Structure 1
């Protein structure tokens, strides 16, 4: 093992990359050679290391398993035509990870730990970043409690890790969604804005019921009245009604999506009217019926820009305008891709070059 910037690095004896078919990558099932790991103990982050990807050994009394102190992030690395490795807005992910940590009573990860760990990991595994447009290297930073203790209290120790996996598209086709008005994803004063594991676990059952009926995902509504649209299971949601781009405001029930922020920034620069406000189900359904809803799509790191082809509410399926007619979301997807892959200039300082 060798030390680099107070970080231990151990390389695999032989890479597994030759086993990967980069033209047919299943999302989230193929993992790169290495992972980054750091331990929190006695008030500081120590034992920084990059080592071969491997399974973890945990105590049956691990407090994260019992009490859910577990948070994560998701970002991507892209390969430019000049063979550069580009990260899209990694500092936003670092900041959001720490907001999640604060809400879940966990320690913050210093910028130098997050970024140096990420950079050293990608230096070793840079060959795993796909070159094909539409593919990328998905990056999963996460933190969980490691106390061997089943008393209910915040853990004293934690582990922060990063691993990566080459991926293609999260959704292989335009999505069919159902508006959920029975179950709730988040509520005021809760953890809806945090990327904590429990948020996603609680959403699995109702999402599974929708999938059995032929829908890809749910659109969640507010817990108090179920009248207002919040977000989908894997993405924020936007609607273009007439010439106005409308999306629910972020807050303690809605994740502050990084792709969401990027879309809103570009839309405003293009002179598109943007409204961040409550969006009622009835408003969206009425816009579908009278033909003023031009586009509906999700935004997210995994999903990128996911066009919504069909929306179900109260047992009725509403077919939305054809994907090829959607000028705004098609343009926004191309623009974001051009920036991410280094094809277009980065005028917003969103890209970090490895």
Structure 2
């Protein structure tokens, strides 16, 4: 990886908000740390990033983000081990995916050195904001949006790259009940489903609300053409265990290439669990639920790592999943979090130490 020519300047906050935060009662993504990284794209190039106090952003009403939706983001976490060392989990993959999203939305790609060195500088400065209670972490949100002005429908000429942080407690809400979607689609062939674009998530809110009105916590998205194959669980990748085989849908231009997803597949293989990456039909899922071979379903993503599913609804009927004492979900979550918190060997080379 290339390094930056200029050192990242740091403007420290005049006073810290950290003493006003109740770290024993942190909700997800609602309290923000003292500083953020900011980098502007102007005159055809990205300027040197800088760290500034966390603050509001001022934009012209004609800024293209408001009109044409050029907005992408990532989700990451920083962890602190029992010795106070700070770790990231596969940050290079977040950088690659952010730039993959940028390419699809005609946004200039972020130089890897800007992302990695900017991230290290910010997290080092904010290390006191990383909570150490079980399951807690510092959630990190890198995002890029069109800040250039104009009502004409074309890519902007200016962009802003920001990394902001939010200390968060353990993200666990118990098992969720999901509804298999039969009408709406999260993404379509040739679209932007594989990108972490803001609009992808905005489009999910209405069908999810309709599912919630029926008593479900989340939606299982199906393919846009036939609604015959399951693809994602809410904003997460979805895994299915039939008998002792763990399955997930293949990535495509509709399905996000989840970092937790690929980590689970690698760890499952390391555990000797049979895995399959293939299309999973709703018919197969229902049949497995009816004959008892469907053992588990769970979502996988950065925030929750693994989110177990207790049952699903389809065609007006509910199907319950068994409550297993030794589930793949709990095993895989423990393996990943032990690596993230530096509690176990990292044979995959995923853990990245923040140099302090």
Q: TM-score, normalised by structure 2?
A: 0.96
- Report the equivalent of 1:223: 224
Q: Is the 8 A contact 2:212 2:218 kept in 1?
A: yes
Deviation at 1:132, TM superposition (A): 1.6
Deviation at 1:48, TM superposition (A): 1.7
- Where 1:325 maps in the other structure, the secondary structure is coil
- Report the equivalent of 2:104: 103
Instruction: Supply the RMSD in Å over aligned alpha carbons.
Output: 1.2
Q: Distance in 1 between matches of 2:214 and 2:181?
A: 13
- Report the equivalent of 1:8: 9
Unaligned runs of 5+ residues in structure 1 are none
- Report the equivalent of 1:204: 205
Deviation at 1:147, TM superposition (A): 1.1
Deviation at 1:168, TM superposition (A): 2.1
- Where 1:344 maps in the other structure, the secondary structure is coil
Write out per-residue CA displacement over residues 242-268 of structure 1, whole angstroms, 9 at most, x where no aligned residue. 111111000100000000000000111
After TM superposition, what 4+ stretches of structure 1 lie above 4 angstroms from structure 2?
Answer: none
Q: Distance in 2 between matches of 1:172 and 1:19?
A: 25
- Where 2:47 maps in the other structure, the secondary structure is strand
- Report the equivalent of 2:330: 330
Using a 3 Å threshold, how does the CA distance of structure 1 residues 41 and 60 change in structure 2: closer, same or farther?
A: same
Q: Is the 8 A contact 1:40 1:46 kept in 2?
A: yes
Q: Is the 8 A contact 2:41 2:160 kept in 1?
A: yes
Q: Is the 8 A contact 1:143 1:161 kept in 2?
A: yes
The answer on 1:312 being equivalent to 2:306 is no
Q: Distance in 2 between matches of 1:311 and 1:160?
A: 39
- Report the equivalent of 1:298: 299
Q: Distance in 2 between matches of 1:316 and 1:303?
A: 27
- Where 1:99 maps in the other structure, the secondary structure is helix
Deviation at 1:212, TM superposition (A): 2.1
The answer on 1:43 being equivalent to 2:57 is no
Q: Distance in 1 between matches of 2:200 and 2:232?
A: 12
Q: Is the 8 A contact 1:235 1:303 kept in 2?
A: no
The count of residues paired between Structure 1 and Structure 2 equals 350
Q: Is the 8 A contact 1:89 1:350 kept in 2?
A: yes
- Report the equivalent of 2:339: 339
Q: Is the 8 A contact 1:295 1:326 kept in 2?
A: no
Write out per-residue CA displacement over residues 66-86 of structure 1, whole angstroms, 9 at most, x where no aligned residue. 000000000111111111000
Q: Map 1:14-53; keep pairs closer than 5 Å.
A: 14-53=15-54
Write out per-residue CA displacement over residues 202-261 of structure 1, whole angstroms, 9 at most, x where no aligned residue. 111111111222221101000000000000222100011011111100010000000000
Deviation at 1:133, TM superposition (A): 2.1
Q: Distance in 2 between matches of 1:122 and 1:267?
A: 30
Of 67-76 and 124-133, more deviation after overlay is shown by: 124-133
Q: Distance in 1 between matches of 2:234 and 2:34?
A: 29
Write out per-residue CA displacement over residues 39-92 of structure 1, whole angstroms, 9 at most, x where no aligned residue. 011221114210111110011001011000000000111111111000000000
